[in-house]
């Protein structure tokens, strides 16, 4: 079931006509289908189908509190990487006891905030971090539940900038140091060792890297259990991809793998999906300002830009695009670069795309923009942070108003010297 599709040549998100909506609110804006997010969560849960598997949504993919609330009510727990994300998840009604805290650079203040809010698990990523967590836990007179994020040295075969599980990446404790780290956890009085976690990368579209990572984890768990340590939880991280280019996503095989892993490991198994749960649910709606022709290219200069969606220029990411209203015409498609108004050559949303002929004022939809879209946006070129809209059936809600230049100016001062 797809909740985002053209009907009678008009883009509909669930029961909402996007052209009609765009006539009432400023473009560009992000819009999300709550039914799609719920469906993705349920499909993952069903594919895994194991009572000991817990799903933690990676908040970094989309941290709007309305989105967190939709997923939280559906049963998702949260994977956070900062106290800012924790505050968002708390604001969305999800308690710390349903959150895991990942990240390579947690500060004492962030650790304290997490412990004071009853964090379910801290995924520690280095030996010095263990000292920090213990120090803070002693001060607060609590025990900190620790999983060690290990680096399984597995190639996720994805884009270099979203590959995290190779030894050369900054993430996790290197394979050779894991046993030493476990001994260290056991020796520190205010830490409780819960298990291991690994996350090898993002936008993974075949199961082999997950198979490899699970095998590495199994090997380490056997070694640790053999040395007398108790392993209660293992996280296999996130990383399951979405079909930006029509790829087949091996959800069923992934589910079977996780199910079998939970059976074999006889402990809780955690997943931290981000993109898979929200990526396909979001669309960036933008409007053509000018159509510009040069000797070699045709540009659609639109009001959305790299500050709103940085993935194309940062990761060479491909997002499907379409016109919000598909003209009922036999006109030959044109090839366009869809670019923003920002003063950077890298400011593009799509390149060399065939599209029915466009003109000023046309609305363009950038699909599969629900993950790492709004969360990675900036105010570069003193642009606003754009609005976000949530759809539920026929209903829409503005879940973030645009953050305007006037509001930015309130945060700045000119000193008197
Ligand atoms: C530790 C950790 N878990 C989960 C995720 C989510 O990844 P994805 O959105 O690909 O599922 C990330 C992404 O960077 C991560 O670093």
Asked about 358 being catalytic, the answer comes back as no
List, for residues 70-98, the tens digit of each pLDDT value. Answer: 999 999 999 999 999 999 999 999 999 99
Residue bearing the CA closest to ligand 1, atom 4? 238
What pLDDT does 13 receive? Answer: 98
**Pair 200, 154: CB distance under 8 Å:** yes
What pLDDT does 127 receive? Answer: 94
Beta strand extents in 261-297 (DSSP E only): 268-271, 282-293
Across the range 243-267, mean pLDDT stands at 97
Q: According to CATH, where is 2.40.37.10 located in the chain?
A: 4-32+279-410
Q: Which one is predicted more confidently, 240 or 162?
A: 240
In this structure, whether the domain defined by 4-32+279-410 belongs to CATH 3.40.190.10 is answered with: no
Residues 67, 243, 58, 266, Cα dihedral to 10°: 120
Across the range 210-227, mean pLDDT stands at 96
Residue 199 in contact with ligand 1 by CB distance below 6 A: yes
Q: According to CATH, where is 3.20.20.10 located in the chain?
A: 103-271
Q: Which one is predicted more confidently, 210 or 328?
A: 210
What pLDDT does 206 receive? Answer: 95
Ligand 1 centroid–CA 273 distance in Å is 6
Please name the residue that has the structure tokens 């473009």: 27
pTM of the full structure? 0.96
Confidence of residue 169 (pLDDT cuts 50, 70, 90): confident
Residue 272 in contact with ligand 1 by CB distance below 6 A: yes
Q: Which of 1, 343, 410, 414 is catalytic?
A: 343
Distances (CA, A) of 352 to 283, 319, 336, 338, 362: 20, 12, 5, 8, 18
Across the range 209-222, mean pLDDT stands at 96
Across the range 43-57, mean pLDDT stands at 98
| Alpha-carbon gap, residue 94 to 92, rounded angstroms | 6
Question: What's the number of CA atoms in the CB half-sphere (13 Å) around residue 317?
Answer: 29
Ligand 1 centroid–CA 81 distance in Å is 10
What pLDDT does 349 receive? Answer: 98
Mean pLDDT of the chain: 96
Ligand 1 centroid–CA 74 distance in Å is 20
Q: Which CATH number fits domain 103-271: 3.20.20.10, 3.40.50.300, 3.30.380.10, 3.40.710.10?
A: 3.20.20.10
Residue 115 token pair = 């412990």
What pLDDT does 26 receive? Answer: 97
């Amino acid at each position: 079931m797809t909740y985002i599709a053209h009907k009678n040549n008009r883009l509909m998100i669930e029961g909402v006509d996007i052209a009609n909506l765009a006539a009432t609110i400023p473009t560009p804006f992000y819009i999300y289908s709550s039914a799609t997010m719920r469906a993705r969560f349920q499909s993952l849960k069903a594919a895994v189908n194991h009572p000991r598997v817990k799903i933690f949504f990676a908040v970094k993919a989309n941290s709007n509190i309305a989105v967190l609330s939709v997923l939280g009510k559906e049963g998702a727990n949260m994977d956070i990487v900062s106290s800012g994300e924790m505050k968002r998840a708390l604001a969305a009604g999800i308690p710390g006891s349903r959150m895991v805290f990942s990240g390579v650079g947690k500060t004492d203040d962030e650790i304290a905030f997490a412990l004071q809010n009853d964090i379910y698990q801290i995924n520690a990523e280095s030996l010095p971090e263990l000292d920090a967590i213990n120090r803070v836990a002693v001060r607060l007179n609590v025990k900190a539940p620790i999983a060690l994020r290990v680096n399984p040295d597995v190639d996720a075969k994805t884009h270099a900038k979203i590959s995290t599980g190779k030894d050369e990446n900054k993430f996790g404790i290197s394979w050779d140091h894991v046993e030493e780290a476990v001994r260290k956890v056991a020796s520190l009085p205010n830490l409780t060792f819960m298990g291991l976690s690994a996350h090898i990368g993002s936008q993974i579209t075949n199961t082999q890297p997950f198979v490899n990572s699970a095998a590495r984890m199994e090997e380490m768990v056997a070694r640790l259990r053999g040395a007398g340590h108790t392993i209660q939880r293992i996280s296999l991280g996130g990383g399951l991809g979405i079909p930006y280019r029509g790829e087949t996503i091996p959800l069923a095989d992934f589910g079977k793998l996780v199910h079998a892993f939970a059976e074999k490991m006889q402990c809780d198994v955690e997943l931290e999906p981000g993109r898979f749960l929200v990526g396909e649910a979001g669309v960036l709606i933008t409007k053509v300002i000018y159509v510009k022709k040069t000797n070699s290219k045709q540009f659609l200069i639109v009001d959305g830009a790299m500050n709103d969606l940085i993935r194309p220029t940062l990761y060479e990411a491909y997002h499907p695009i379409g016109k919000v209203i598909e003209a009922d015409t036999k006109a030959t498609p044109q090839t366009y670069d869809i670019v923003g108004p920002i003063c950077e050559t890298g400011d593009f949303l799509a390149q060399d795309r065939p599209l029915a002929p466009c003109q000023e004022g046309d609305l363009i939809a950038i699909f599969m923009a629900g993950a790492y879209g709004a969360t990675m946006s900036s105010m570069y070129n003193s642009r606003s942070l754009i609005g976000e809209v949530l759809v539920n059936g026929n209903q829409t809600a503005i879940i973030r108003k645009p953050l305007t230049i006037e509001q930015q100016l309130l945060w700045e001062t000119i000193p008197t010297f």
